[in-house]
A and B are shown apart, each in its own frame.
Chain A
Amino acid sequence: MIDRWAPMRLLTDYTPANNDVMGWISWLKWLYANADWAYGAAHANGGLQLQSWAETQNTIEVWRGDVKFRSEHPTLVFSGRQFLNAGDGYTALEYYGADGAWHTIETDATRGSLRFFGGTTERTYNASGWALPSHGVLEVRWMIYGTSGGWAQMYRAYMTGWVGLTTWPTLPTFSNTVHPASDFNKLVTALEYLRECAKRPNLGSETFVGTHTQDGSYEPIGRWCWRQGGAKRLYVWLAVTDCQPGEHVYVFLEPDTYHPDTGPGRLNGGLPVVDISGDNPGQGFNIDLTSYGCTVGQRYAVEVGILKNIRLGGPVVTVGAVTLGDLGGVTRTYAPLAEYPYGSQPDAAAFNRLKNDIDQMYPAADRESPLWYEHPLASWRTPDTMGPLDRFHWRDKRYRIRHRGRFLEVRTRGGAKIVSADRTNETTIADSKGDPLTVDTESIPWLGSAFGQDYTVESYGTNEVLVAYEEYE
């Protein structure tokens, strides 16, 4: 998040001894400024969490993710679905400990049936007692073990909880009468709460070139998930080559726990929201999520997939961007209408408007612009074999990040490159040997203050980026 938060103080009821007054430059102006800041954070343009899946006959890593552990949000939430073959297979959710070993969080050895991991849509774990490495990054992975194999798909993974942080106040209704200082202070408290909500990582969407070789069928090549908030535009950039008649590249919207057999089913009556039926040199698609019934608070995924004929080869899709943003006519019902400089007389309507504006950012499904405080884990890139494109291989994987945090957290093997979205600037970063590495973006002249601009973190040659996301501190 861009660090422009203005300090605010709490008022006290006036006495001749304390001489407290409410001023514009000295107080009210910064509440408006911080409300604007919080609104921007609630409508953050940003990357989505990659949902990965895998199928094996023995052992495979289905998904891995990183998040900087913070004691204020100690609860890990995980969701995935699995089908294990009969035999000895089981899934295991694990975290990497300070002792350099993987520790089991939970296992599920139920075989022969399609089910959620652990038997419920979501599993929650208290991570506050886990001994983590000194760098403070919680690394979690989901494995299929054994020799009988199966299939698994990760749906969501994030940290939540609210420990030791500000309590949301009961906001008053203002009238043109005398109010105690405590009423005005609730606006300050609510804004501090929202600031704490905004302290979360900034993910980059994983983009790539992909295809599949499953003749005569549709196969997804990528899924990305999010929790619906105030940002109601999904932007997907795709380029397609070698798309022959009868072949399609589809984009679907679906609940994040979508499954074709058990449901929940896709949005839009199961029809794609984007249908590319021929070669396309590159096109951005702005998808109005409200027109497909996406509701605030619910979790969704966007799926890109290919319908391929029976033939050698097939359509090759370049996913260039998958981001959330605002629609052109975004609504901010209680956006500030006026300033209240020295000598002005703001009335109850002005304060109620400010109060309502702040209230609409409280993280709840019935708000216009909820500032979700969950910390999604940044999914590791699934292995990029650099080999021929087929069903299980991708190429040119990159993390595309909308720059707004100072610190870039990466893991690399050999090294990686940071490249501006227009490809005119690039900086090489070091080999972290798979360990977390922090890059202060202020040390990169072309990137440091370029907030709001996209850049990618990508592999080059035999050097590989494993994960990349931004942190605010």
Chain B
Amino acid sequence: MRADPGNVLNNAFAAGAVPVGKVEVDWARNGSWTDISAYVDVSEPGAITWQCMVLDPNQGLTGWGQAPMAQASVTLDNRDNTFSESVSGSPAYQYGLYGLPIRISAGYMDGATPRYVPVCTGTVVDRPADSERDRTLTLASRSGARFRRRKATTVMHRGNQTSTWIARLAMEAGITDTALETGLLIIPYAHINDEYVLDEMARAAASEGGMVWFDAEEKLRFANAAHWVARSPVVTYTPERMYDIQTQARWTNLYSRVTVTYQPRRSERDTVVYSVGENLSVPPGGSVEHVAEFRWPLDTWTGVEIVAASAGGEDLSGYISLDPASPVGAKRWAMTITNTHPTQRAYISKLDVYGKPLSGRPSASISRETAGADEEREWEVGDNWNLQTPAQAEYVAELLSRLLRGSAPNRPRPLYVLPNVQGNPLLEPLDVLAVTYAPLGLSAAEMILLGYSGRFGGGAYDMDLYLADAAGIYAFDRAGFFRPGVSALGTGRMWI
């Protein structure tokens, strides 16, 4: 749960609390926020909606590790054409709407002081349905969308903890605001080759059963699978009526076995990973662009051998230079080839890149029984380049076997929805909540908040909370797991 600016938590459980909401945009994309709340018709229920999930409810618990992007929707009064891109003089005309940073905050009056807490920060990705000259305009935003299409290429990174690799990817994508928990496992070889950074982050997180997502302030977060160790419930909900709590028995979460496949990698001896396929021709005093795509990803680059000659056979090898002088990618080298000879065109007949390539070893699998289903139903985890060691496979298998286990065979882990609870902007996905509802046998039952959807407008601020029952995930008191620097030997329990 996030820091309380002043009585927000109290008001979230108080009858008669006065909710407040705010919408801001950063027109110039320079970190300077403009309050556009005046354009929001807060008399309309659901004038502002948002959703933040770390688990896609449709995919179930097997989607662990792959968080959908948080999203929001704001309906705005556009009678003055502030949000009309075709109307000269409007901010939308000057700055454009697509990719516009937008921040939604909610909270409560604390006496005479409004207390706001950001609930969704992102960038505008859509303007569904409405014509920009209509009286109202609805903007849709997503957290992290500005980074969604960012690609990167890196050299091989060896022996990184998962969190270190995610941090590196964040740097490549220009994501500067991060809060990453410690990666508990090592990815022996990691690289990205002109691929989407966010996708690779999700794969990295999934390789140790962790989670990557953008929080309410669009900060990149990584939680490891031990996230709930030593975390207590932050709030308690006590639904009064049957409508106040919905159970979801997703049979798609029933499995008898989890199997995780990994493929070890190995660094080989020096070999040529790229040879130019046809003569490259570089004019005198000129340059050409060339991309060398390697046959195998390089663990380490050793060197490049170039042979160049003129049409008359004069050796021009010494006049050829490459920029950059070494590959910036494990699998590719985009280079500028320059011929400094003043009069002769250089024909490059040999451009061999060599180094220690990475080879894939035979795959192997590790399975764990989940006792979730009587019949044979296997959940297979694989197709993740970052799963390379038995440690990772064993860990993820053990983790998922606990997660997918219900109270008894053929009883999937219960999922719950608390609909229409009074809004609490301090809640974050993965918070632990306690729920008491006697008809379902829940007495301060600990639940993991998988996500929420929020609504503001019409004088109301409420949320739907999506929860997973935490019962049985841990066989021991969560606070008792071994924390270095905190737990005493002989007392602290081994985590997975």
A interface residues (Cβ-Cβ under 8 A, vs B): 3, 6-9, 11-14, 16-30, 174-181, 184, 340-348, 351, 407, 438, 473
Contact = CB atoms under 8 A, between A and B. Distances in A.
B177 to A, nearest CB: 14
Main secondary structure of the interface of A (DSSP, over half): loop
Contacts of A473: 267, 269
B159 interface: yes
A340 B231 CA distance: 24
A351 B395 contact: no
What is the interface residue range for chain B against chain A?
35 or more
A13 B484 contact: yes
B485 A177 contact: no
Interface string B201-232: 00000001000000000000001101101110
Contacts of B181: 17-20
12 contacts: A18-B182, A20-B184, A20-B484, A21-B184, A23-B495, A176-B488, A176-B490, A177-B488, A180-B485, A343-B475, A343-B494, A407-B269
B476 interface: yes
B489 interface: yes
B389 interface: yes
A24 B485 contact: no
Nearest to B226: A21
Contacts of A29: 391
Contact of B489 (A8, A20, A24, A351): A351
A3 to B, nearest CB: 7
A19 B188 CA distance: 22
B14 to A, nearest CB: 27
B484 A14 contact: yes
Interface of B: 159, 161, 179, 181-186, 188, 208, 223-224, 226-227, 229-231, 266-267, 269, 389-391, 394-395, 398, 475-476, 481-496
Nearest to B491: A345
A311 B483 CA distance: 79
Given A21-B484, A23-B494, A347-B490, 13 more contacts: A7-B159, A14-B484, A19-B229, A21-B481, A22-B484, A22-B495, A23-B495, A23-B496, A25-B394, A25-B395, A26-B184, A179-B485, A345-B491
A347 B161 CA distance: 26
Contacts of A346: 489-490, 494
Nearest to A28: B494
Contact of A16 (B188, B230, B476, B482): B230
Contacts of B491: 176, 345
Nearest to B487: A178
A6 B391 contact: yes
B186 A7 contact: yes
Given A3-B266, A348-B489, A26 B185 contact: yes
A344 B269 CA distance: 42
Given A6-B391, A7-B391, A26-B185, A12 B484 contact: yes
A22 B269 contact: no
Contacts of B389: 6-7
The winner among A6, A7, A178, A343 for most chain B CB atoms within 10 A is A7
A177 B227 CA distance: 24
Nearest to B361: A3
B475 A20 contact: no
Contacts of B486: 13-14, 178
Residue among A16, A175, A180, A341 with most chain B CB within 10 A: A16
Contacts of B394: 25
A26 B483 contact: no
B206 to A, nearest CB: 15
Nearest to A13: B485
A19 B159 contact: no
A259 to B, nearest CB: 42
B120 to A, nearest CB: 22
Contacts of A176: 488-491
A180 B269 contact: no
A346 B486 CA distance: 15
A10 to B, nearest CB: 8
B493 A345 contact: yes
B363 to A, nearest CB: 16
B226 A19 contact: yes
Given A7-B391, A351-B489, A438-B269, A24 B182 contact: no
Contacts of B269: 407, 438, 473
A176 B486 CA distance: 12
Nearest to A438: B269
A22 B481 CA distance: 8
Contact of A25 (B161, B391, B481): B391
A25 B486 CA distance: 20
Contact of A342 (B182, B184, B391, B475): B475
A360 B287 CA distance: 60
B186 A9 contact: yes
Contacts of B182: 12, 18-20
Contact of B496 (A13, A24, A347): A24
A8 B487 CA distance: 21
A20 B390 CA distance: 21
Contacts of A7: 159, 186, 188, 389, 391
A343 B488 contact: no
A177 B488 CA distance: 4
Contacts of B390: 6
A137 to B, nearest CB: 14
Nearest to A29: B391
Given A13-B485, A29-B391, A342-B475, A8 B226 contact: no
Contacts of A175: 489
Most chain A beta-carbon contacts within 10 A, residue among B223, B389, B485, B486: B485
Given A16-B230, A19-B226, A21-B226, A342 B496 contact: yes
Contacts of A17: 179, 181
Shortest beta-carbon contacts, A-B, top 10 = A13-B485, A23-B495, A14-B483, A347-B490, A7-B186, A181-B484, A176-B490, A19-B181, A20-B182, A21-B495
Given A7-B188, A179-B489, A20 B483 contact: yes
B230 A26 contact: no
Contacts of B188: 7
Contact of B494 (A19, A20, A344): A344
A221 to B, nearest CB: 38
A25 B484 CA distance: 16
A342 B490 contact: no
Residue of B482, B483, B494 contacting most chain A CB atoms (<10 Å): B494
A179 B484 contact: yes
A384 B493 CA distance: 64
A202 to B, nearest CB: 17
B186 A21 contact: no
Nearest to B388: A7
A9 B159 CA distance: 8
A249 to B, nearest CB: 43
A180 B484 contact: yes
B489 A174 contact: yes
A3 B496 CA distance: 25
- Kindly name the residue among B182, B185, B188, B227 whose own CB sees the greatest number of chain A CB atoms within 10 A: B182
B493 A26 contact: no
Nearest to B228: A19
B485 A347 contact: no
Contacts of B208: 26
Nearest to A350: B489
Contact of B493 (A177, A180, A343): A343
A454 to B, nearest CB: 25
A7 B164 CA distance: 15
A12 to B, nearest CB: 6
Given A12-B182, A19-B226, A345-B491, A26 B485 contact: no
Nearest to B394: A25
B483 A177 contact: no
A344 B493 contact: yes
A18 B181 CA distance: 4
Contacts of A344: 493-494
